[in-house]
Amino acid sequence: MTSATLLTPGSTATRPGGDRPGPTTRAAERAYVQVLVVLDTAVLAVAILVGYVARFGDEQPSGSEIPYVVVAPALLLIWLVSLRAMRCYDDRVLGYGADEYRRVSAASLRLAGAIAIVGYIAEFGVSRGFLAISFAVGTVGLEVARFAARKRLHRARDRGAGWSRKVLVVGDTAHVLELVHTLRREPYAGYQVVGACIPDALLAPVPQRLGDVPVVGSFRGIPEAATAIGADTVAVTASGELTATRLRRLGWQLEGTGIDLVVAPALTDVAGPRIHTRPVAGLPLIHVEAPEFRGGRKLVKGLVDRSMSLLALLLLLPLLVVIALAVKLNSRGPVLFRQVRVGQGGKEFGVFKFRTMVVNADALLAELAARNETDGLMFKMRDDPRVTRVGKLLRKWSLDELPQLANVLLGQMSLVGPRPPLPSEVARYDGDVARRLLVKPGMTGLWQVSGRSDLSWEDGIRLDLYYVENWSLAADLAILWKTFGAVLRSRGAY
């Protein structure tokens, strides 16, 4: 029987009927994999060369029974085989999620461990320094190359090009529309919806569309509909008519066709580490762990926050002095602006920022309320007349927020977290939005690396709540890394 995957955030589809890719994506997928193989080969060749030069320099290697002219290409070949054996070129992990990076690291580290053990037993005398440097440089280089290739693929997918799966969505109309919206929210994930199948009772005798998605059939002819529109993935969402028996038979029908079958549960915005699938009596039950709001990991996060903020303040001190002088000379008023915000547990605190507006900015807000360019509870204007000339520059590069490092050092904020809200915003929170206050607000977060002020209120809240329930130290480091790119692009900064 064809295997079905639970399509959850950060996961990819399991290939039904073997590892054969879908007919419409085979050529593009093969080309992308070939590029990765060439990149990996080049990276490993450079890493081995760096290891040799760093260890021996101009000296002639001695003490090895095997000449390095043989060792180097053999190591390169074995390393590539290890990557293949760990399925680092499997399309199910390429282009999205963290599995690709984990597999690349695992393949390199396991190979390094195996060579170390064999070398100790066989005593073939290859320099440990050479191997250590080669594996260190190679592992990092592989990750960087995969990251660069993925970013290029994401840019192509954002333009509607690049290698993407063509998806036929199956389910009730409401659930189909919800899944279509979710997949289109992140086009770089590579799921392009090309059609939908709905229950027989809802099928009309005339052509139908769900939004701009054409309805191409009912539940009776899902494989035929997928073949007709060139879909290589069938995504099944909730429907009362799709019983376990019908879903199992659909898997059988897709066997050998090269078409993926994925199952999208109603559970959304839950990160992979909190999800565990366990087969019980033939049922793939999804176990969801509760969010972690306290404990050892939280203590480590707080220690990392304070240490990094102290180091950043010391390193950025000259820049902070220059910015302070620029603010003071540009317009009258204090250099720092202290605004009351709401932190963890609803506790209010004063957030520090370099002043970017005129001194009577709050008094002018009422006059500009009608020109608000965002929905929800926030006020944003692209050309806010209250912003000073220096303030525009500071906001463009997010330099006005650097004093918040002091808030992090004081334990009032975190480096990564939800946006710190105003008391007036919190007063209008409903029960769901109030969950943002379960963790410390952050200097940066998913909202910042995903568009900042260009995001709608709904999307900003969704990202904040996703972070609150799925935070991790690894995710924090990833967000901090992405923040540099977001700042350089100045997207949504105004």
Q: What is the full DSSP assignment across 291-356?
A: P--SSHHHHHHHHHHHHHHHHHHHHTHHHHHHHHHHHHHHSSS-SEEEEEEE-GGG-EEEEEEE--
Burial class (CB in 10 A: 0-12, 13-18, 19+), 266: exposed
In whole angstroms, how far apart are CA 128 and each of 51, 57, 113, 133?
10, 15, 12, 9
pLDDT at 97: 78
pLDDT at 22: 41
**CA neighbor of 377 nearest in space, from 405, 411, 342:** 342
Residues facing residue 487 across a β-bridge? none
**Strand runs labelled E in 200-264:** 209-210, 213-218, 233-236, 260-263
Which ranges of 19-98 does DSSP label H, i.e. alpha helix? 26-56, 68-85
pLDDT at 38: 96
Is there a contact between 444 and 477 (Cβ–Cβ < 8 Å)?
Answer: no
pLDDT at 188: 83
Q: How many helices (H) and strands (E) would you count in the chain?
A: 16, 13
State whether residue 161 is helix, strand or coil. Answer: coil
State whether residue 10 is helix, strand or coil. Answer: coil
In whole angstroms, how far apart are CA 367 and each of 384, 386, 427?
12, 11, 22
For the chain, the 3-state helix, strand and coil shares in percent, each to the nearest 5, are 55, 15, 35
How far apart are alpha carbons 58 and 403 in whole angstroms? 50
Residue with tokens 């760990």: 86
Q: Which amino acid is at 10?
A: G
Q: Give 309's Cβ-side CA count (13 Å radius).
A: 25
pLDDT at 7: 44
Residues facing residue 276 across a β-bridge? 287
How far apart are alpha carbons 105 and 180 in whole angstroms? 33
pLDDT at 9: 35
Burial class (CB in 10 A: 0-12, 13-18, 19+), 3: middle
pLDDT, mean of each 10-residue run, the chain (494 residues): 40 37 62 94 96 82 70 94 94 84 94 89 81 95 94 86 88 90 85 91 83 91 92 88 86 88 76 68 70 82 95 95 93 89 94 87 61 57 77 88 95 94 87 87 88 73 86 86 77 52
Domains, the chain, ranges and CATH? 23-159 (no CATH), 165-268 (3.40.50), 296-368+383-489 (no CATH)
- Torsion sign over Cα 76, 78, 83, 89: positive
Q: Which amino acid is at 100?
A: E
